[in-house]
Structure 1
Amino acid sequence: MTAPRNTHIAMFSIAAHGHVNPSIEVIRELVARGYRVTYAIPPQFADKVAEAGAEPKVWHSTLPTDDDPDAWGTELIDHLEPFLTDALQALPQLVDLYEGDEPDLVLYDITAYPARVLAHRWNVPIVQFSPNLVAWEGYDEEVGKPMFEPLKQTPRGKAFYETFDHWIRSNGLDITVEDFMGRPDRCLVLIPKALQPNADRVDESRYAFVGACQGDRSAQGEWQRPAGAEKVLLVSLGSTFTKQPAFYRSCVEAFGGLPGWHVVLQVGKFIDVTELGEIPANIEVHPWVPQLAILREADAFITHAGAGGSQEGLATATPMVAVPQAVDQFGNADMLQALGVARHVPMEEATAGTLREAVLAVAGDPEVARRLQEIRADMAGEGGTARAADLVEAVAGVVARQP
C-alpha cells in the first residue's frame, strides 16, 4: 500500500528498552512505506527513534530508569503509582509538543497513558502495541479482581484509583480505570501467540497477534562461536534487574571449565567484573552483548524471561533456563516451561549445581529441540513486522478515506 499523502502517525512510549525495542522495527517499516512518523519519547531514546527514521518529540519523564531499578519498589502499588504520576505531568508537555501538528493516527505502548487521552482529544483512531501478554475472556475474574480488589481497600490504593478516575473523566473520557489500563480499542500483540496464556480465550477482534518484530540487528555487532567450542551458553538477565553479583558468581562456578562449553556472561552496567572473582578461560564477561547474534549460535540460554528475551530464544530455537526477576517474567517463565522448551529456576534456587543440571538437561533433550522447532515454525507464520505494519496501514487507510 502507498502511504496516503501527508498522513501523520504519532507513536508514544516510555524510556525503557522493553517498551521501545518491540515497536521500533514497525516504526522503521512505516517510515519506509512513506508515512510521516513522530515518536514521543524521553531524551534517552531520541537517537534510537531518529535512527529508525521517525521524528523524536522529546518530553521529560519522572519514571525510574534502567539506571535505578531499585526505585520501582517491591509492592504492586509501587509499580502502579509511578506511571500515573508520570502521565499527569507528561500530558501538558505532549499537548504543547503536538500543538498545530496533531496526528491522523495514534500508536502507543501499554505504558503510555497520555496517548489515549490525546487520541480522544484529537478525535483520531488509536492502536495499542503490547510487548507482553494481554487479557483474555475471564481475566478479570481469574486475575484482575484477586490482584486489585485488596489494593483498593488500602489508603494508597484508594488514592491511586480516585486520582486516576478523576484524571480520566476530567479529560472527557467515560471509561473505568480498569478499562483504561486494560481494554484498548484495538491492539497489536508483539509477542508470539505461544507466550500468551489462555490464547484460545483472547478476543481477536480486539487483539491481533503479530509475533516478534525483529529487524536487522547487524548494527549491534556480530558474534562468532570460538574455535573449539562444542557448546555455547548465553547468560543474560536483560537490561534492568541485573544487579545480581551472587547469581553471576554461581554461573561462573557452574560453568567455569566445563568441558566443551563456552559461556558468554552479560552482567549489565552495575557489576564490576572483579566482584566475580577469577574468570575461567571459557567464560567471557561483558556489560552488554549483541544478544540475538549470540543466540543464533547458542546451544542454551539462561534468561530472566522478559518478553524480548523469551521470544528471541524461541525464534532461534534455543533451549532455555528461566530465572525471572520481576513483573511479567514469572508468568513467561511458567509459559516457557509449560511449552516444554525451558526449565523455570526461581532465583532463590539458582545455585551452581541447579543451574548446571538445568542447562545440561534442556540442551541435551531431543524433545526440547523438537518443540522449539515446532514453535519457531508457528512464529514464522505470524507475520512479524510486515503484518504489524499492514494492520496499522489498514487503520491509516480508513483515516485517509474519510472526508
Structure 2
Amino acid sequence: MARIVFLPLPEAGHIHATFGLARQLASRGHELVYMAPPDGEAFLRERPWPFIPIHEEAMPRGRQAELDAQLAAPGLSLQARKDIIREVIHRHGLRITEALFGTTLEARLREAKADLLLVDATFPLPVLAAHKAGVPAFQLCTNLALNRDVAVPPLNSHHVPTGSVGSRLGIRLAWQWQYLRTFLPFEEKMRERLRAFYRLHPGAPRASFNTHLQIGPHFQVPTLVMSSPEFDFRRSAADVHYLGPCVDLDRAEPPLRLDPPQDDSPLILCSLGSHGDRLRGHEAFFQSVISAVARRPRLRLLMAVGKQLRTDAFGPLPPNVTVVDWVPQLTALKQASLMITHGGLNSVKECICLGVPMLVYPLMFDQPGNAARVVHHGLGLRGNIRETSAEQVGAQLDQLLGTPAFQARTRAMQRTFQEADAASRGAVTIEQLRQEQRLAA
C-alpha cells in the first residue's frame, strides 16, 4: 500500500472534487495526506485525512478570500482592480519560485514520506518539486484534460466538433491562439525560469506550453481526468487516463428545508457554483429565472445566489420560488427534476450521477466546454448568461421538462458513471500506473 499525497488548489471546487477518489484509495488500504496553502484546510474539516500547509509566505491564511471579496465588491475602481491583480500575480510568482527553486515543498514531501504526489493540473509546477524529492507525481485534473489535442477544442470554447473540415480547422486555430498567448510576459518569464530549472535538473519531466487554463506548462507525466471518456469528446491521442467521475455521493450534508415543503411539483435547482458571485450582472440573470418560474406555477424554484447578493434583493417572491444564499447541492439534486447551472465539472458530474438534466449558463474557465459536452450528449441545453431573458429561460425549461429524451440520455450517462465508480476505476487506474512506473524504473 502507498502513502499518497493530494496537492489541490485551496478552493472548495478543487478540494471537494478529490474526495470521491480519496475514498476509493482509502478503501483499498492506501494512506492519504493533503497538502495545500493554508486556506485549503477549512475544506477538509470533518475529513479523516491529515493536512500539511505549504506556500504560507505566498498565500497566508485568509488572504485569498480577502482578494476574492475585494474583486467581487461593487463599485471597484479600475486602479483598485489593477492593484489586486498585481498582488495576485506577485503571489503566484512566489509559489512558482518555491516550486522550482525553493526547498520547503521538497522537504515537506520527504517528511510526509510520500510514495506518490497527485498534483492539481491547474498549478502543475509541484511536479518538479516532487522530482527533486525523488517522489513520482501525476497530474490530477479536477476538470477535463487541459493539454492540446487536435481533435478536441479548448475547454474555454463553446465549439462542438463535427468532423468537418471547418470544424477541424477551427479547433486547430483555437489551440494556436492559446499557444500564442503563452508568449505574453507572465508565461515568457515562466519559460525563463523553467530553462534555468532544467539546467540544474536535466532529467526532470519535460514541459509543454501547448495547453490552457494552467498556471504553467503541461508535464509529460500521467494525466488523470476525473470523468468518464463517454462524457468527453473523442480525443485523437491516448495520453489521458480517465478515472471515472469519482463523485462522493456519500458526503455529509445538512437536510434541505423548503418553505413551503416540497410537493409533487417539479423542482428546479438554480446555482452558479462557488465562483458564481464573481460575475458582474448575475443579478439580472437570477431575476430572469425567477420571472420565468413565476409564470409557471406548476414548477418550484430553489435558487442559491451566493453571499454577495442579499436573498431579499429580488423584492416580493412568488409562492413557488425560494431564494437562499447556499444549498446542500447533493441533497437538493436528489429532489430536483432539473438544474440550472454554471457548468462547473463538479456540478455537471453530480447532475449526471443523480440523473438530473441541465440548463447550462457557463461563466468562465472550462465551463463553456463542459456545456458543449452537455449539449452534444443530449443531457441538456445551454444559454448565454449575458443575453438571457425570462422568455428564453422559460422556453428552455419547457423544452427540457417536456422532452423525455433529455431524461433518458441523462439516465444512460448516469449508468456509465455509476459503473465506473462502483468498480473503483480511479483507484485501480492509479495503482496500475504506479506499478508500470515501478517496473520501468
TM class by shorter chain equals 0.7 to 0.9
Q: Aligned equivalents of 2:439 and 2:208: distance in 1?
A: 33
Q: What SS is found at the alignment partner of 2:217? A: helix
Aligned to 2:318: 280
The alpha carbon displacement at 1:96 in A equals 4.0
Give the counterpart of 1:87 among 75, 80, 95: 95
Give the 3 Å change call, closer, same or farther, for CA 266–67 of structure 1 in structure 2. farther
After TM superposition, the structure 1 stretch with the greater mean CA deviation from structure 2, 90-99 or 234-243, is 90-99
Change (3 A) 1:129 1:331: same
The answer to whether the 8 Å contact 2:127/2:138 transfers is no
Find the counterpart in structure 1 of residue 188 from structure 2: 158
- Compare 393-402 and 345-354 and name the one that shifted more: 393-402
Say if 2:143 and 2:345, in contact at 8 Å, map to a contact too.
yes
Partner residue of 1:356 out of 382, 391, 394: 394
**Structure 1 equivalent of residue 267 of structure 2:** 232
Residues 1:86 and 1:312: Cα distance change in structure 2 (over 3 Å) = farther
Q: Are 2:220 and 1:192 aligned?
A: no
Gap change, CA 1:190 and 1:177, over 3 Å in 2: same
Judge conservation of contact 1:233–1:264 (CA < 8 Å) in 2: yes
- Counterpart Cα distance in 2 of 1:184 and 1:220: 38
For the 8 Å contact 2:124–2:219, the answer to whether it is kept is no
Of the structure 1 ranges 107-116 and 337-346, higher mean CA displacement relative to structure 2 is found in: 107-116
Superimposed CA distance per residue, residues 192-230 of structure 1 (whole angstroms, 9 cap, x where no aligned partner): 323323x24241xx3221221122445112337834341
Distance of 1:14 and 1:150 partners within structure 2: 23
Aligned to 1:128: 139
Letter in 2 for 1:87: R
Would you say 1:366 and 2:397 are equivalent positions?
A: no
Q: Identical aligned pairs, as a percentage?
A: 21
* Range with greater deviation from structure 2 (93-102 or 303-312): 93-102
Note if 1:326 corresponds to 2:357: no
**Residue matched to 1:213:** 246
Tell me what 1:265 maps to.
303
From the superposition, tell whether residues 212 and 121 of structure 1 become closer, same or farther in structure 2 (CA, over 3 Å). Answer: same
SS of alignment partner, residue 98 of structure 1: helix
Match of 2:117 in 1: 106
Asked whether the 8 Å contact 2:269–2:336 carries over to 1, the reply is yes
Q: Assess, with a 3 A threshold, how the Cα gap between structure 1 residues 184 and 177 changes in structure 2: closer, same or farther.
A: closer
**Count of residue correspondences:** 391
Please give the alpha-carbon distance, in whole angstroms, between the structure 1 residues aligned to 2:298 and 2:271.
Answer: 20
AA of the residue aligned to 2:124: Y
> Do the aligned partners of 1:151 and 1:157 also contact (CA within 8 Å) in 2?
yes
| 1:301 equivalent in alignment to 2:296 | no
> 1:67·1:240 contact (CA, 8 Å) conserved in 2?
no
Partner secondary structure for residue 313 of structure 2: helix
Using a 3 Å threshold, how does the CA distance of structure 1 residues 101 and 213 change in structure 2: closer, same or farther?
Answer: closer
Alignment correspondent of 2:417: 379
User: Are the equivalent residues in 2 in contact too, given 1:165–1:177 (CA < 8 A)?
Assistant: no
Distance 1:311 1:133 in 2: 11
Which residue type is aligned with residue 255 of structure 1?
V
Q: Is the 8 A contact 1:39 1:56 kept in 2?
A: yes
Distance apart, 1:394 and its partner CA? 3.3
Contact (CA 8 Å) 1:319, 1:372: kept in 2 or not? yes
Inter-partner Cα distance in structure 2 for 1:344 and 1:323: 6
Secondary structure, aligned partner of 2:275: coil
Look up the match of 2:382: 344
For residues 63-82 of structure 1, the aligned pairs below 5 Å read 64-65=64-65, 68=68, 71=71
What does residue 41 of structure 2 align with?
46
> 1: distance between equivalents of 2:178 and 2:360?
24
What letter is aligned with 2:191? Y
Q: Aligned with 1:275: secondary structure?
A: coil
Question: Conserved in 2, the CA contact under 8 Å of 1:213 and 1:384?
Answer: no
Quick one: distance in 1 between partners of 2:205 and 2:435? 27
Deviation at 1:299, TM superposition (A): 1.2
Higher helix share: 1
**Is residue 109–residue 130 contact of structure 2 (8 Å, CA) maintained in 1?**
no
Aligned counterpart for 1:27 among listed residues 16, 22, 28: 22
**Counterpart-to-counterpart distance in 2, 1:124 and 1:168:** 17
Q: Which residue of structure 1 aligns with residue 175 of structure 2?
A: 144
Deviation at 1:400, TM superposition (A): 8.1
Bigger shift: residues 211-220 or 324-333: 211-220
Q: In terms of mean alpha carbon deviation, does 59-68 or 26-35 score higher?
A: 59-68
Change (3 A) 1:366 1:101: closer
Counterpart CA distance in 2 for 1:83 and 1:187 is 26
Uncovered stretches (5+) of structure 2, i.e. residues with no partner: 73-80, 153-170, 211-215
Query: What is the TM-score with the length of structure 1 in the denominator?
Result: 0.85
Following superposition, the deviation at residue 332 of structure 1 comes to 1.1
Confirm or deny: 8 A CA contact 1:229 1:262 kept in the other structure.
Answer: no
Shift of 1:262: 1.1
Structure 2 vs 1, CA of residues 88 and 159 (structure 1 numbering), >3 Å: closer, same or farther? closer
Contact 2:268 2:339 in 1 (8 A): yes
Shift of 1:110: 0.6
Q: Unmatched 5+ residue regions in structure 1?
A: none
Q: How far, CA to CA, are the matches of 2:318 and 2:201 in structure 1?
A: 59
Structure 2-normalised TM-score? 0.78
Distance in 2, matches of 1:66 and 1:307, equals 25
How far is 1:325 from its partner? 0.5
CA contact (8 A) 1:192 1:382 kept: yes
